[in-house]
Amino acid sequence: MTGQEAAMERPTVTNDIAEEDRLRADLYDFLGVLLAAPPNQGLLDQTARLSGDETDLGTAIGALSRIAQHTKAPAVEREFNALFIGLGRGELLPYASYYLTGFLNEKPLAALRRDMAARSMTRAENVYEPEDNIASLMEMMAGLITGRFGTPATLSDQKTFFNKHIGPWAGHFFTDLEAARNSVLYASVGAVGRVFMEIEAEGFRMSAG
């Protein structure tokens, strides 16, 4: 995956959402940024200042922060390239189509594009990655929560989008990232993502609608 820029056009942001939802969106956005391109030193320094509580998610965030304190941008760029780019391909292929069908650019991507169009989501002009990559999907969820693509999505619509496009595979991807041979900083990114996906899936399961 390449490109430091946002994967999606960002026409609108609405501030009238609950603090809990703002925090969820921030974590989706944070994962999206880390998975879209190697973090620069500024982002690594910000990550190093994060702190976590004693929950599973807080513990994972604390571990990521500690590793970021000892990570420099050139090293994490090499790590990112080995994981996601490589010679021909990286160690992991972070696409819904690949995880769900074993091939790239398959039916999950077509279904996602239909649902993006229905929600006025548009891929940024300077991004050429298939839209079903994990970084873009994290950004889409953040945008649905905050109203970046219009009004904030209802919890029911968030649940529908998550269960269709993220829930079936993102946890598997983050588990693979956690255990990948080339993962160092990204092993902790994988842990944060895995725990967060579990929390989101359970939250949606418990919700009505």
**The total number of residues written for the chain in this structure:** 209
Mean pLDDT of 37-51: 97
Q: Do the domain assignments include residue 61?
A: no
Distance of CA 120 to CAs 36, 106, 115, 147, Å?
21, 22, 9, 11
Which range of residues forms the domain containing residue 167? 24-34+82-181+190-206
Q: How many domains, in total, are found in the chain?
A: 1
Instruction: Flag whether pLDDT at 6 surpasses 70.
Output: no
Q: Do the domain assignments include residue 65?
A: no
Residue 152: burial class (beta carbons within 10 Å; 0-12, 13-18, 19+): buried
Q: Which amino acid is at 79?
A: E
Q: Do the domain assignments include residue 13?
A: no
Q: Do the domain assignments include residue 148?
A: yes
Say what the pLDDT of residue 173 is. Answer: 98
Say what the pLDDT of residue 209 is. Answer: 60
Q: Could you tell me the pTM of the whole model?
A: 0.91
113: its two tokens:
């594009």
Instruction: Flag whether pLDDT at 1 surpasses 90.
Output: no
Q: Do the domain assignments include residue 8?
A: no
pLDDT-derived band at 205, boundaries 50, 70, 90: very high
Say what the pLDDT of residue 171 is. Answer: 98
Q: Do the domain assignments include residue 76?
A: no
What's the CATH code of the domain at 108? Answer: 1.10.3480.10
Task: State percent of the chain over pLDDT 90.
Answer: 83
pLDDT-derived band at 126, boundaries 50, 70, 90: confident
Identify whether the C-beta of residue 131 lies closer than 8 Å to the C-beta of residue 115.
no
Nearest to 111 by CA among 97, 98, 94: 97
Chain-wide mean pLDDT for the chain? 92
Say what the pLDDT of residue 12 is. Answer: 47
In tens, the pLDDT along 78-116 reads 999 999 998 778 999 999 999 999 999 999 999 999 999
Q: Do the domain assignments include residue 19?
A: no
Q: Do the domain assignments include residue 101?
A: yes
Q: Between 174 and 89, where is the model more confident? A: 174
152: its two tokens:
């904030």
pLDDT-derived band at 15, boundaries 50, 70, 90: low
